[in-house]
Amino acid sequence: MKGCTHTDQIRDVKPHAHACEECLKKGDTWVHLRLCMTCGNVGCCDSSKNQHATKHFHSAKHPIIKSIEPGENWGWCYIDEVELDFP
């Protein structure tokens, strides 16, 4: 099983917002929120129509996100396409 080779890019980040930053700017809605573990950007998930977390990955090249939904402690590496567990 392939693992993530980008865990060295995980930082001790704080969310910039408690909502999708780009959706707030547009006055739009989202489904679930994801936290960039490199810079703290908060974006909406791929089930949301704008998919801002993935767009942030493509523009910033920050590989790892974490779900910031209550009760969830998983993450995802876009590059290695593997799920990660967070404490």
Both structure tokens of 14: 């704080």
How many distinct structural domains can be found in the chain? 1
Is residue 52 within a helix (H) or strand (E), and if so which, with residue range?
helix 52-60
Band (76; pLDDT cuts 50, 70, 90): very high
CA 49: distance to chain centroid? 15
Q: Which residue has the tokens 């959706």?
A: 23
pLDDT of residue 1: 53
Band (73; pLDDT cuts 50, 70, 90): very high
Assign residue 35 the CATH number of its domain. 3.30.40.10
Q: Residue 72 falls within a domain, yes or no?
A: yes
pTM: 0.94
Q: Residue 7 falls within a domain, yes or no?
A: no
